[in-house]
Amino acid sequence: MGFLKRFFNNVLHETPPTPVARSNSFENLTAEELEAHLAIDTYGAFRLTAAVRPAYNLQIVPKQGYRHDSYQDEEGQVEVPVLMASATREILFDLFLELLDPLGPVVDVVLETSHHHDGGGHLDLYREHIDLPVLKSTLWEYEDLLLNDGCTGIAVLNPATPQEIQFDEHKMLIVYGEPLAEFEHILQRNDVYPDPRLRFITEAEHVHSSSDDYYRVFEELTMRLGMETAVC
């Protein structure tokens, strides 16, 4: 199993205030138009974190909910059930931490960084066998980074199940493995309901944002967790 990020294309990374690349709906914008679009974080009842913004032409409008999907392993032999969810920022981080509970008392954790990786590349850092309460306590200290940095993602997994919760750099929540019923109960208890037609901003043009300060905080978190570079 790996990050479901591989499902998504057309990711455009940028670090405000100066975009490093533009395409499609962004390429003919004035600086003022771009700045105004990036400043919008609320669409109806849904509020985005600072990590990502949708296309200027709003091909997909952010919305709360979840849908079922599936993931096929690299050898194409196993199809894994998946829940893909988006939630407004007011509940997002608490919901992520609550979704970790069904994994059990001891978990593995992966941090993903695309800082200083042009063209969609990234680096995975791995830590095995950490007590879940210890992990949660540490992550609380880095809530701002995990919510608002568009170049940081995290996955928490129980290899024995196997199940994984991913809080990716788009700030989507992705659950894969089975059974999924307990995770669905948690989502619905937090007013995140199934919508088979739901589309995510990752499935269209969008922009990420980050900063050198966030990269420094990311490095601090890797040290706190004792991460090692993952062997692929």
Q: Where are the domains of the chain?
A: 4-229
CA nearest 110: which of 10, 3, 29, 24? 3
Q: Is the pLDDT of residue 93 over 80?
A: yes
Asked if the model's pLDDT at residue 76 lies above 80, the reply is: no
Looking at the chain, the whole-number percentage of residues with pLDDT higher than 90 is: 62
Q: Is the confidence at residue 100, as pLDDT, over 80?
A: yes
Report for 75-89, 170-184, 217-231: range of highest mean pLDDT: 170-184
Average pLDDT over the chain, rounded to an integer: 85
- The per-residue pLDDT for 140 is 97
pLDDT of 38 over the 90 cut = no
Between 23 and 92, the more confident residue is 92
